[in-house]
A and B are shown apart, each in its own frame.
Chain A
C-alpha cells in the first residue's frame, strides 16, 4: 500500500470519527451529556411533578403509575417514594399518595421552570415545537431561582405556556383547573382549545401533525366511542377519543366565532385584496411580532402585488408599503376576500 492511499484512509477514518463524536442527538458527545443528566435528583423531581399533575387533574396516583410515567421499575419507584417521604415532601396513605405543602411548592417550582422555558423556546427561538418538551425536561432541573426569574423577566413574565397551561408565579400560585376534554363536547357546541397535553410524546406529535394548537376555535360535529369529528378553524378533523382526551377546551373568549373554512393570505392571487382576520397562533414570538409591526393586524387591508420568479415569496401591499412574505407565513394569516366582505 502506498503512502497516499494510507493517508487517504486515515483521513476518511478521521472524518468518520468526528462525525460519530459530534453527530446531533446520536453522537457520542450527546449520549455522554444525557447519561450525566439521568441522576437521582432528576428522578425525584420528575416524580414530584407527576404527583402534582395527578392531584391537579384529580387522578389517584399509585406506585405503578409513577413507575410507568417515569419509565422505571416498581422497586426504584418505591425507593423514590420513600425518599420523598423522608424529605417531608410526600404523605403516603394506604391507597394513594398525597403531596405535603412543601412538596407542592417544590413541584410548582419545577413546573414553573418547565413552562417558562417552553414559552421561551416557542417565542425566542425557532426550535421545532415537538422538541420543546424534551429540552424543557432537561433545563427544569438545572436553573436556579434567580436564573428562572431573570428568564421570566426577559420574556415579559408570561402567564401561559405555549400549550395553554398556566405558569405558576414565583410564589407558587396557580389558577384552578378550567375547561373540559374535547371528547366531552356536545355536537354543535363551539369552544376554544385552551390546552394540549404534551405527554405522552406519541400522542402529542399526532395532534401537532393535525395542525391543532391552543387558541383554535372548534365546533363539534360528532363524538362517540370510535371517533371524535370536529371542525377546527373551519377545517374538518377526526381524532380517536384517546387522542381527543389530551385536548382541553374552554368557552370562547375575546374573538368572534368563526364560521366555515377560512381563507388564507396565500390563497390571494396577484391583484386580489382581502381584509385580515387574524394570524394563526402557530406563528409565535419574533415572527408574530414582526408581522404585527408591519401592520398585519385584524382589520388591515392587504393586497397581493407581485409574485417572485418561482411563485414564493409573494409581495403584498400593506398600509402603503410592499412586503414580501414566504408561503409558510402567508398560509397562516387568515382573511376575507374583498368581494366577499359585503
Chain B
C-alpha cells in the first residue's frame, strides 16, 4: 500500500517537472494540431456544392448595408418602420383587449360578486386589485410586444441586425461596450425585460453586464404612453396651439434621445469604474443572409419572448394590484395608508419637484410602467376626495380626454415643472419588477441586480433635484 502511494507521488512529481519543461505554449500547439487534423479530415470527407453565387449576393448586400452613404439611412429607415408598425398596429388590438378585459369583464365580475354577496373587501382585493392590474397589464403590454418582437426577430433572422451592430461598433467601443449593445437597446425600446434577455447575444462578460445595467435607459413601450400623455397635457398646452403638436412630440423624442445619451454615458462610466476588471473578449459574427422563416419566427417570438415576458409581468401584477387596492382602502385613524404616506412624503418630494402621489405610484406600480398613470390618477382623486371621477377608492382608471387628465392633475397641484420632472423620472427610475427579476435571472448576482435597480433611481433623483432648483431660481 505504502509503496503504491510512493509510486503515485513520484509520478505526480515527475509530471509537474515535465509541465515546467513543456513551457507555456502547449495549449496553443494542441489547439493548432486539432485544427490541422480537422482540416485534413474535412478535405477528405466533405464536398461542397457550388455555392459561389449565394456568397457573392451576400457580399453585394453587405457592401450596400455597410456603405458610407447608405448604411445609416437604411438603418434609421428600418428602425423607423418597425416603431411605426408597432405603435400604429398596437392601437386597435389594445383598445379591443381593454374593452373586453377592463370595460366588459371587470364590471361583469363586480356584478357577479354582488350577486353572491361577497364581502366588499374581498371583491375589492381580488377584482378591483388583482384582476384589474392583471387585465391592464395584459391589454397594454400584449399587442405592442406581439408586433414588435416578431418584427425584430425577422430582422435578426434575415441577418440584418448583426450588420447594424457592425456599423455602430465604433461608437460603443468608445464607451467600452460591445456593438451588439445597439441591438439590445433597440429591443429595450420594446421591453426592457426582453432587452435584458437579448443581451445573451453579447458573449463578452463585461460588455454584457454593461448592456444589462444600461438597458433600462431605453424608453420602453410601457413608458411611451406616459411620456406622450404628460407632454401633450402640460408641455403642449404651455406653447401656442399651432405649435402644441410639434413641441410635445419633440419633448418626447428629446426624452428618448436623452435616454440613449444616458445609456452611453453610464456605459462609459461603468467600464472605467465598477466593471473595469471584468473579463472582455470581442468578436462579432456576421452570419450569411437567410430568407426569414416567417412562421417559425412568429411562433418562437410569440412563445419565447412575448408570452414569457407577459407571464412574468402578470405574476408580478397580481400581488401589486392587491397592494394598490389595499393602500387606498385600509385606513388608520380614519385616513387611508396611501394618504398617510402621501402627506408624509410630500415635503421630501417637493425638493425634487415631484409630489407624494408620484412617489407612491412609482413604488406600488413597480410591476409595470403601464399602470403608473392609472395609479397616479386614482391616488390623486382619492387623496383630494374628488367625487364623480373614477370607479371608487383603489380602482385604477384612465380618462378618454386629455383635458380631464389636466384638470385632475392640476387640482393635485401639478405644474409644468412637475410634468417635466415626471417625464425625467419616468426615464430615470428603477426598472419594473419583471425586468429586475430578469436581471437577477440573467446575472445570478444580487450585486448587479441592486446596481441596476438603484443606479437609475439615484440618477433620476439627482437630475430632478437639480432641474427643480435651477427652475425655481430662474422663475423666482
- The CA of A308 and the CA of B165, in the complex, are separated in Å by 10
Of B226-234, B379-387, B445-453, B462-470, the one touching chain A: B462-470
Which listed residue, B273, B281, B472, touches A290 by the CB 8 Å rule? B281
| B13 surroundings in chain A (CB, below 8 A) | 173
Asked if residues A325 and B20 are in contact (CB atoms below 8 Å), the reply is no
User: C-beta contact mask, B282-314 vs A, less than 8 Å → 1, else 0?
Assistant: 111111100000000000000000000000000
| A310 surroundings in chain B (CB, below 8 A) | 170
Asked if residues A8 and B466 are in contact (CB atoms below 8 Å), the reply is yes
Q: In this complex, what residue of A is CB-closest to B171?
A: A310
- The CA of A145 and the CA of B36, in the complex, are separated in Å by 41
Known contacts A286-B204, A325-B282; is-contact A215 B24 (Cβ 8 Å): yes
Asked if residues B71 and A309 are in contact (CB atoms below 8 Å), the reply is yes
- The CA of A134 and the CA of B71, in the complex, are separated in Å by 45
| A285 surroundings in chain B (CB, below 8 A) | 279, 281
Interface SS, A side: mixed
Asked if residues B469 and A300 are in contact (CB atoms below 8 Å), the reply is no
| A214 surroundings in chain B (CB, below 8 A) | 24
| B35 surroundings in chain A (CB, below 8 A) | 295, 297, 299-300
| B63 surroundings in chain A (CB, below 8 A) | 306
- The CA of A298 and the CA of B33, in the complex, are separated in Å by 9
- The CA of A279 and the CA of B35, in the complex, are separated in Å by 15
The yes or no answer to A323 lying at the interface (CB within 8 A) is: yes
A25 to chain B, nearest CB (A): 10
Of A46-54, A119-127, A196-204, the one touching chain B: A119-127
| A175 surroundings in chain B (CB, below 8 A) | 17, 20
Asked if residues A323 and B170 are in contact (CB atoms below 8 Å), the reply is no
Which listed residue, B36, B283, B473, touches A5 by the CB 8 Å rule? B473
Asked if residues A297 and B285 are in contact (CB atoms below 8 Å), the reply is no
The yes or no answer to B280 lying at the interface (CB within 8 A) is: yes
The yes or no answer to A159 lying at the interface (CB within 8 A) is: yes
Known contacts A126-B206, A315-B166, A325-B283; is-contact A298 B476 (Cβ 8 Å): no
Q: In this complex, what residue of A is CB-closest to B469?
A: A8
Asked if residues B166 and A8 are in contact (CB atoms below 8 Å), the reply is no
- The CA of A2 and the CA of B36, in the complex, are separated in Å by 77
- The CA of A166 and the CA of B205, in the complex, are separated in Å by 29
Which residues of B (169-218) have their CB < 8 Å from a CB of A?
169-170, 173, 179, 203-206
Asked if residues A11 and B469 are in contact (CB atoms below 8 Å), the reply is yes
The yes or no answer to B351 lying at the interface (CB within 8 A) is: yes
| B62 surroundings in chain A (CB, below 8 A) | 305-306, 315
Which listed residue, A11, A164, A313, A321, touches B466 by the CB 8 Å rule? A11
Asked if residues A309 and B469 are in contact (CB atoms below 8 Å), the reply is no
B273 to chain A, nearest CB (A): 6
Q: In this complex, what residue of A is CB-closest to B16?
A: A169
B43 to chain A, nearest CB (A): 12
The yes or no answer to B241 lying at the interface (CB within 8 A) is: no
Which listed residue, B25, B286, B468, touches A254 by the CB 8 Å rule? B25
User: Mind listing 26 A-B residue pairs with CB under 8 Å?
Assistant: A4-B472, A7-B465, A8-B469, A11-B462, A11-B465, A11-B469, A24-B273, A127-B277, A159-B24, A175-B17, A279-B28, A286-B280, A287-B281, A290-B203, A290-B283, A308-B170, A309-B71, A309-B167, A312-B170, A312-B173, A313-B166, A315-B62, A321-B287, A324-B169, A324-B286, A326-B173
Known: A313-B170, A324-B284. 10 other contacts (CB 8 A): A4-B472, A4-B473, A5-B473, A8-B469, A11-B469, A169-B16, A175-B20, A287-B282, A306-B66, A325-B283
Residues in chain A within 8 A of chain B (CB atoms):
2-5, 7-8, 11, 15, 24, 121, 124-127, 159-160, 164, 166, 169, 173, 175, 214-215, 253-255, 278-279, 285-287, 289-292, 294-295, 297-300, 305-310, 312-313, 315, 321-326, 329
